[in-house]
Structure 1
Amino acid sequence: MKKSFAILFAFIISQFQAQQGAYYQQAAKYKMDIDVNAEKFTYQGNQTLEYTNNSPDELNVVYFHLYWNAFKPNSMMDQRVASQGKNGDGRLQKDGISRLASIPKNEEGAQNIHWLKQNGKDVKFEIQETIMKVYLAEPIKPNSTTTFTMEWDAVIPQQIRRSGRNNKEGVDMTMTQWYPKIAEYDYDGWATFDYVGREFHAPFSDFDVTIKINKDYVIGAGGVLENPAEVKGYDANAKIKADKNKKSTWRWTAKNILDFAWSADRDYTVKSFDVPEGPKVFFVYQPNAKTKVWEEAQPYVTKYFQLMNSNFGKYVYPTYAFIQGGDGGMEYGMCTMILGEAKDIKGLMGLMVHEGAHSWYQQILASNESMYPWIDEGFTSYAEGFVMYHLFPEELPNPFANTVNAYRNFVKKGIEEPAVWLGDHHDNGTSYTYSTYVKGELYLVQLGYIMGEQNLKETLKQFYDQWKMKHPSGRDFLHIAQKVSGMDLKWFHNYWINTTKTIDYGIKDVKYDATSTTITLINNGQVPMPIDFGVMTTDKKIITYQIPLNMTHTWKEKDIYGELKTMPYWPWTQKEYTLTIPYTKSQLSVLGIDFSYRLADVNLEDNFVEVK
């Protein structure tokens, strides 16, 4: 028995050590040759893919994404949209009916794989909707590289969501998630999520893409154009080359990005400028009265990159392109596809800032969007709120006050879903937005409130420095936040991400004495928090009493929202808390919970007392 126990114990230890093994990530190199038939909205493709297995596992199968297979009647995306009805994404349905159900046969998306080889040997593959499972001719051993070659043709689908032909602003081709893309493999296994409309995930890859298309087209893409003097739009002195079929050849390269996206239209114009200590930026759009506001955007975009670089980490790529295409806004490697029409510069910049910020929180810090959409969308929304506050200053108590208020109003609807849910598995489109974008943003806002804004800024900086060009998770971010602050923050992460419980503190009672005032606070919610209790005196002086929460075990020492007087902690199991302050009624003007308006308290009616 003792020997058996020792063997079992050794096995358990070995498994634990295996789980704590060194971080790894896979790598890929694509070389593609694409020949576009612009009149028929089809193309022929050849691809060579070098895939490196940096994992400790031997791989016997691999998976590819074939996203365009979703754009047809009765696809899984169509079924999902139909089942959600008016509760789903409004861009995918009209009056509660799926737009995919009525796509004509000749405009259905298709990626038809002709053949696929591994190291020159034919391999068997099967298409499972938007996933292609490949049975390898030979295993890919750890720390080894294999080469896949394939030929395929594709039909560019009717533009319903992100990709496709003839978007509503008249852009001919939005080519996103358009090629057979190797799936990500990591400790959690293959990321083989079916595409039903939301997020993506992929390994960091290098791209060398040659595109042949009619010579009167202009292409915008995320990458470096290697032959601008031979094609239309990028060089005023270009001598446009064309073959006997009147097609020009474009060659784009990009290194260490998640995907390669491009768009093509005959009416595009291209404008470019250099950001000091930043990338070369390209605007690729159709110039007309509705897109005239693009002419005002250069100084704002320049300041945007400077704010992002100084506050969130330096952009690592040589170029970035804002391209008119798609249906709203969607981020890709070194570019974004956005609708080009805007009423004013603030509206355009809101879109550019959000999608551009995904270069940090999706491309450079490449979390798994399908599993943790709240990280990339939420952190991006936080960066957007911060930058927009500096580009277009408003009289707000903090850059995120409007988001806190929007969340407060949403909670009253009673349809909130936990942020921990997988991106495509939310049942309500509005709930997805709030659990992912809003609660993800407020995750950082609440952490700033708990640990102090200086600690939050340092956490974001260290997160970037330690995890850029990698695939972090929420656990990785939390590890850094706890290390920087010295606090235990796991309780907050669990409440905020894994549940829909809410914060609701209030002032229960105020008693005035001859030399002091005693306030009784009450926790009416389900999420415990530390409390910054504010006092405004009649001479407009503000004093903030920090009431720590015992679960953090360490209290914040400072915050940019005022000096702190630290009180005894409030145990999370205790319903009420009483504090006495050395001010009389005649000396007081206002008492309140969180003068900074960062706390996501769902009921403000009992948070403030005006002393009369």
Structure 2
Amino acid sequence: MKRSFAILFAFIMSQFQAQQGPYYQQSAKYKMDIDVNAEKFTYEGKQTLDYKNNSPDQIDVVYFHLYWNAFKPNSMMDQRVAGQGKNGDSRLQKDGVSRLASIPKDQEGAQNIHWIKQNGKTLKFEIQETVMKVYLAEPIQPNSSTTFALEWDAVIPQQIRRSGRNNREGVDMTMTQWYPKIAEYDYDGWATFDYIGREFHAPFADFDVTIKINKDYVVGAGGILENPSEVKGYDPNAKIKADKNKTTWRWTAKNILDFAWAADKDYIVKSFDVPQGPKVFLVYQNNDKTKVWEEAQPYLKKYFQLMNSRFGKYVYPTYAFIQGGDGGMEYGMCTMILGEAQDIEGLMGLMAHEGAHSWYQQMLATNEPMRPWMDEGFTSYAEGYVMNQLFPPAQELPNPFVNSINGYRNFIKRGIEEPAVWLGDHHDNGTSYTYASYVKGELYLVQLGYIMGEQNLAETLKQYYDQWVLKHPSDRDFLHIAQKVSGMDLKWFHHYWINTTKTIDYAIKDVKYDAKSTTITLVNNGQVPMPVDFSVITKDNKLVNYQIPMNMTHTWKEKDVYGEFKTMPYWPWTQKEYTITVPYSKSQLAAIGIDFSQRLADVNPNDNVIEVK
């Protein structure tokens, strides 16, 4: 019996380990030839895709994304926008009515697949709106490769969301998510969410893209231009090579998630080098409304240096800011942004956010449709951190994230919060999506800095980059590093902040003054337990900090960039009130309070501080 049990136990453990498995990620190599009819806003495409199955699974079908099929009346995107009414994305509607419903027939998005082959064999496929399911002639075995070939033609849609023709600033073509793009396959299976209007996910891939277009156009793209001396805009000594009034542009890129480009006759191109990289390109229409771009170079140099120092080195050789799209959207080695700006701080705020996506969406490529808070939130944190240094506020703030915390507090009062754990496209309210993904994701890091100390947070972000750059991490991977760095159990916080809409609300309930001491009773009026930083300021301007830990972390914060702390007995999360006695009389005290650093996302901070008179 003992031997049989041992064999059974060993079998069970082997199965468990097999289920967990070592980390893997798929890889792809695209070679594309594109011929653009600029007058009709159409193009013809040929694509070869070498695909490597690094998973332990046999693959019998593959999926491609055909995003442009969403841009037509009665598409799923149109239905979703119509169903949300004025609660949806304002860019997709006008007066509460979906803009997609009125797209003219000749401006509907379309990706028409002529055929697809695997190793020369024609394959059966099904178009499921923005997803193409392909039945393989030969299964792709683990650790083996296959080659797909496709031909298709496409109609560039009316510009409504991110992609399309003739955006509101007059850019002719914004070519994003524009080609049949193989879906990501990982431990969770195929990432085949329909395109409803929000985010994307993909395997890392290499690209070799040739674009034939009217010779009057300038192309901006995320990648390396291999023939700048033969095309317009990049080399002042270029000898334009044209064949039947068209020039050929060749772009390459390695290990990025997607290849995006834009084209316009009025683009100019400027470039400069950032010390220790990258080479930055600015591609935009040169007019009175975009003149602020002239001021961006010194700020962008410092921006990349700050990002490289704080969040890990940008690994690609180039980055391009390209005027296009409908706001700002990140892609491999580039972003599409609206170019008209009132001042340099406004333009840099947009550039800082979209550029930071190169860290939190591209190099650290989380599944954004599933976990938008990791992408948008971490990016917003990086944006806030860097912008605070590029444009120091006139009045010094307690921390760079005070405005985000105040915005969150005001939003909570509306009673429409939705959990950050929800899938990106499945939020019912556009504003609720913004706060769940951008703001609560940003404050996730702010609250971690408060809980475990800013030094530990900085080290966590560094190790997160070092361990997961050019991979597909999840929230579990990030949390594992945060717990290892801090020595704390942080699963409780992750659950409350991401999976629920419960809030933090601590208060000073009572104060009793004695001859040589003061006793303060604190109360937890909220639903999210937290450790508490409690401080006193004496009449002679001495600041004394006390850390009231919470038992669920099991390890306490002893210091922070905001000061050192005297550790008090822990506050059990089940306990409503807590009493702390400090060795100062009323005559010695100027103020007492919770969270003088103002990092705690307490929804009612008005009862956190008392001025002693």
Structure-2 separation of matches of 1:593 and 1:279: 43
1:468 counterpart letter in structure 2: V
Match of 1:279? Answer: 278
Cα separation, 2, equivalents of 1:36 and 1:441: 41
Shift of 1:439: 0.4
Whether 2:494 is the aligned partner of 1:493: answer yes
1:123 is aligned to 2:120:
no
Secondary structure in structure 1 of the residue aligned to 2:415: coil
1:153 — aligned with what? Answer: 153
Contact 2:516-2:584 within 8 A present in 1 as well: yes
Superposition pairs for residues 333-412 of structure 1, below 5 Å? 333-394=332-393, 395-412=396-413
* SS of residue paired to 2:18: helix
Q: Deviations over 1:511-545 (max 9, x none)?
A: 00000000000000000000000111111211111
Shift of 1:11: 5.1
3-state SS, counterpart of residue 90 of structure 2: coil
- Does residue 21 of structure 1 match 2:21? yes
Aligned to 1:31: 31
* Cα distance in 2 for residues equivalent to 1:358 and 1:605: 35
Matched, 1:328 2:327: yes
Superposed displacement of residue 278, structure 1: 1.3
**How many Å separate the matches in 2 of 1:492 and 1:24?**
29
Give 3-state SS (helix, strand or coil) of 1:492's partner. helix
Give the superposition deviation at 1:19.
Answer: 2.7
Matching of residue 459 in structure 1 with residue 463 in structure 2: no
Deviations 1:44-92 (A, max 9, x none): 0000000000000000000000000000000000000000000000000
Paired with 2:19 and 2:512, the residues of 1 have a C-alpha distance of 56
- Partner amino acid, structure 2, of 1:355: E
Q: In structure 1, how many angstroms separate the alpha carbons of the residues matched to 2:379 and 2:15? A: 36
Cα distance in 1 for partners of 2:46, 2:202 equals 20
Give the TM-score normalised by structure 2. Answer: 0.99
* Partner of residue 578, structure 2: 577
Tell me the amino acid that sits aligned with residue 443 of structure 1: Y
Q: Report the secondary structure of 1:297's partner residue.
A: helix
Tell me if the contact between 2:558 and 2:566 (Cα under 8 Å) persists in the aligned partners: no
Q: Per-residue displacement from partner, 1:128-150 (whole Å, max 9, x unpaired)?
A: 01000000000000000100001
CA distance in 2, matches of 1:21, 1:92: 42
Distance 1:327 1:283 in 2: 17
Structure 2 gaps of 5+ residues are none
Q: CA deviation at 1:553?
A: 0.3
AA matched with 1:151 = E
Residue 522 (structure 2) pairs with residue 521 (structure 1): yes
Instruction: Give the aligned residue type for 1:181.
Output: K
- Against the structure 1 CA distance between its residues 171 and 512, is the aligned structure 2 distance closer, same or farther, given a 3 Å change threshold? same
Partner of 1:91, secondary structure, is: helix
Aligned length: 611
For 1:225 and 1:555, the matched residues in 2 are separated by 52
Partner-residue secondary structure (3-state), 2:303: helix
Report the Cα distance in structure 1 between the residues aligned to 2:82 and 2:435, rounded to whole angstroms: 22
Q: Helix, strand or coil for the counterpart of 1:605?
A: helix
Residues 253-272 of structure 1: pairs in structure 2 closer than 5 A: 253-272=252-271
1:462 counterpart letter in structure 2? Q
Deviation at 1:5, TM superposition (A): 7.4
2-structure distance, mates of 1:38, 1:480: 49
C-alpha distance in structure 2 between counterparts of 1:226 and 1:548, whole Å: 57
Cα deviations by residue, 1:387-446 (Å, 9 ceiling, x for unpaired): 000000112110001001100111111110000011111100000000000000000000
Deviation at 1:15, TM superposition (A): 3.0
Q: Deviations over 1:452-497 (max 9, x none)?
A: 0000000000000000000000000000000000000000000000
Give the AA of the match of 1:125.
F
Larger deviation: 509-518 or 6-15? 6-15
Corresponding residue number in structure 2 for 1:98 = 98
Q: Secondary structure at the match of 1:310?
A: helix
SS in 1 for 2:563: coil
Q: Could you tell me which residue of structure 1 aligns to residue 293 of structure 2? A: 294
The letter of the residue matching 2:320 is: A
Question: Counterpart amino acid of 2:290?
Answer: T
Amino acid at match of 1:317: Y
Higher mean alpha-carbon deviation, 107-116 vs 538-547, is at 538-547
Letter in 2 for 1:445: V
| Structure 1 residue 451: Cα displacement | 0.3
**1:563 CA drift (Å):** 1.6
Q: What's the offset of the Cα at 1:14? A: 3.1
Deviations 1:564-584 (A, max 9, x none): 111111011100000000001
Q: Distance in 1 between matches of 2:439 and 2:19?
A: 32
Is contact 2:558-2:564 (8 Å) kept? Answer: no
**What is the aligned partner in structure 1 of residue 81 from structure 2?**
81
Q: Structure 2: which amino acid aligns with 1:24? A: Y
1:577 counterpart letter in structure 2: Y
Question: Residues 169-199 of structure 1: CA distance to partner in whole angstroms, max 9, x if unpaired?
Answer: 0000000000000000000000000000011
The within-5 A match list for 1:463-474 is: 463-474=464-475
1:416 match: secondary structure: coil
Report Cα offsets for 1:348-406 as digits up to 9, x if no partner: 00000000000000000000001111001100000000000000011211000100110
Distance, in Å, in 2 between the alignment partners of 1:542 and 1:384 is: 30
- What is the CA–CA distance in structure 2 between the aligned matches of 1:475 and 1:365, rounded to whole Å? 14
| Mapped partners of 1:6, 1:338: distance in 2 | 61
**Whole-angstrom CA distance in 1 between matches of 2:112 and 2:311:** 41
Partner of 1:533: 534
1:133 corresponds to 2:150: no
Q: Residues 5, 86 of structure 1: CA spacing in aligned structure 2 closer, same or farther, 3 A cutoff?
A: farther
Q: Is the 8 A contact 2:547 2:558 kept in 1?
A: no
Moved more, 548-557 or 253-262: 548-557
> How far apart, CA to CA, are the structure 2 residues paired with 1:4 and 1:234?
72
Q: 1:291 to 1:517 in 2, by over 3 A?
A: same
The one-letter code sitting in structure 2 at the alignment partner of 1:15 is Q
Which AA in structure 2 matches 1:304? Y
Letter in 1 for 2:333: M
SS at match of 1:236: coil
> C-alpha separation between the residues in 1 aligned to 2:117 and 2:2?
52
The offset of 1:13, in angstroms, is 2.5
The residue identity in structure 1 corresponding to 2:59 is L
1:246 paired to 2:245 = yes
**What is the CA–CA distance in structure 1 between the aligned matches of 2:525 and 2:580, rounded to whole Å?**
18
User: What corresponds to 1:228 in structure 2?
Assistant: 228
Normalised to the residue count of structure 1, the TM-score between the two structures is 0.99
- Counterpart Cα distance in 2 of 1:13 and 1:95: 59
Moved over 4 A (4+): 1-11
In 2, Cα distance between equivalents of 1:424 and 1:269 = 36
Deviation at 1:562, TM superposition (A): 1.1
- The offset of 1:4, in angstroms, is 9.1
